């Protein structure tokens, strides 16, 4: 009886002190080779076991997100994929292990036409509402999570998108960013990556927007939210969280959006922050 009572008190404490934790993947949980260190895996599992709501919040599409969810030991919970375009409920015991509970789509044609005019040699890939990827010039990336189907540029114009990716080998990230700024994209949300890489989602859709929907549904106070990230697509969620933490290797504008800065991914900076919750 005492054991049962103590367990009940512990569960109540877990709920009282529960945090909603949004974790970026590439450059935060895994290094630039896609490797998750034993330290991250161990502390990630411990934080999940402690009763915190750990949400993988990533630019990766669903198929590339699920292995990270599994490594962190999340058997029940949520993940925000495609920079907020897709939110899934994780249930390891159900058929497939997940259920898509939200999908935010948009018409990619205006952005595609503007981008092609300014970046004629760029490669394009599009995640459609069925979770399939369509790409030009045999463009493939591990973040897609599935093998992309080759299509013409004109076929992309007719699709409905959840995520649009643009990659150019002709420019640096800074030059690519300047080019995109000069286009003046409307009706979408976009972020430039480490290289000449552009991720586009529906207007107003970011990792932060996906996390905010979950926060409201779960009844977690904003001061009990924590996010960790290193990319420009993490800026909104770092600003949104009660405690936003930038990785040590993050660009200056990402660090400026955070409340604090941890060490680099090679130094397991995310692990140090997660340990502070235990």
d(CA 99, CA 85): 14
What's the mean pLDDT in 168-176?
77
Q: Using N-to-C axis directions, what is the helix angle for 173-183 and 109-118, rounded to 10°?
A: 120
Q: Which long-range contacts (CB under 8 A, 24 or more apart) does 111-114 make?
A: 111/164, 111/185, 111/187, 111/188, 111/200, 112/153, 112/156, 112/157, 112/164, 113/157, 114/183, 114/184, 114/185
d(CA 35, CA 31): 5
d(CA 133, CA 85): 14
pTM equals: 0.89
> For residue 8, is pLDDT > 90?
no
Are 226 and 247 spatial neighbours (Cβ–Cβ below 8 Å)? no
> For residue 2, is pLDDT > 70?
no
Two tokens, residue 33: 């080779």
| Pairing of the two strands 123-128 and 133-135 | antiparallel
Does residue 97 come out as left (phi exceeding 0), alpha (psi in the -120 to 50 range) or beta?
left
Q: pLDDT of 204-245, one tens digit each?
A: 999 999 999 999 999 999 999 999 999 999 999 999 999 999
d(CA 211, CA 244): 13
Two tokens, residue 30: 């895994």
Q: Where in the chain is the domain with CATH 3.30.1240.10?
A: 109-202
d(CA 145, CA 272): 29
d(CA 45, CA 47): 6
> For residue 17, is pLDDT > 90?
no
Q: pLDDT of 74-87, one tens digit each?
A: 999 999 999 999 99
Report the CATH superfamily, name and number, of domain 2-103+206-275: HAD superfamily/HAD-like (3.40.50.1000)
**Residue spans of alpha helices (H) in 79-165:** 109-118, 153-157
Q: Where in the chain is the domain with CATH 3.40.50.1000?
A: 2-103+206-275
Instruction: Look at residues 248, 259, 207, 254 and name the one whose alpha carbon lies nearest to residue 235.
Output: 254
Share of the chain above pLDDT 90, in %: 75
Does residue 219 come out as left (phi exceeding 0), alpha (psi in the -120 to 50 range) or beta?
left
pLDDT, residue 16, reads 56
pLDDT, residue 185, reads 79
What's the mean pLDDT in 150-176?
89
pLDDT band at 101 (very low <50, low <70, confident <90, very high): very high
pLDDT band at 55 (very low <50, low <70, confident <90, very high): very high
User: Around 233, how many Cα atoms within 13 Å sit in the side-chain half-sphere?
Assistant: 35
What's the mean pLDDT in 110-117?
90
Two tokens, residue 121: 């040699």
Which of these CATH numbers, 3.20.20.80, 3.30.1240.10, 3.40.50.1380, 3.40.50.720, describes 109-202? 3.30.1240.10
């Amino acid at each position: 009886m005492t054991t049962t009572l103590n367990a009940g008190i512990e569960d109540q404490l877990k709920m009282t002190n529960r945090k909603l934790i949004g974790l970026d993947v590439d450059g935060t949980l895994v290094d630039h080779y896609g490797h998750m260190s034993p330290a991250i895996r161990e502390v990630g599992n411990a934080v999940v076991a402690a009763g915190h709501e750990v949400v993988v919040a990533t630019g990766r599409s669903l198929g590339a997100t699920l292995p990270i969810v599994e490594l962190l030991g999340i058997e029940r919970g949520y993940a925000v994929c495609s920079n907020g375009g897709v939110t899934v409920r994780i249930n390891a015991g159900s058929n497939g292990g997940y259920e898509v509970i939200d999908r935010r789509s948009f018409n990619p044609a205006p952005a595609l036409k503007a981008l092609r005019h300014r970046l004629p040699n760029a490669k394009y890939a599009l995640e459609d509402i069925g979770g399939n990827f369509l790409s030009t010039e045999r463009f493939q990336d591990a973040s897609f999570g599935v093998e992309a189907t080759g299509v013409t540029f004109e076929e992309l114009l007719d699709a409905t998108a959840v995520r649009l990716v643009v990659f150019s080998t002709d420019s640096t990230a800074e030059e690519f960013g300047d080019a995109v700024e000069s286009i003046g994209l409307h009706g979408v949300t976009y972020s430039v990556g480490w290289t000449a890489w552009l991720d586009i989602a529906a207007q107003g859709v970011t990792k932060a927007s996906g996390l905010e929907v979950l926060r409201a549904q779960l009844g977690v106070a904003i001061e009990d939210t924590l996010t960790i990230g290193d990319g420009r697509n993490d800026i909104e969620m770092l600003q949104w969280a009660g405690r936003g933490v930038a990785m040590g290797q993050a660009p200056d504008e990402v660090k400026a959006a955070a409340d604090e800065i941890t060490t680099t991914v090679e130094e397991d900076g995310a692990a140090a922050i997660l340990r502070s919750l235990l």
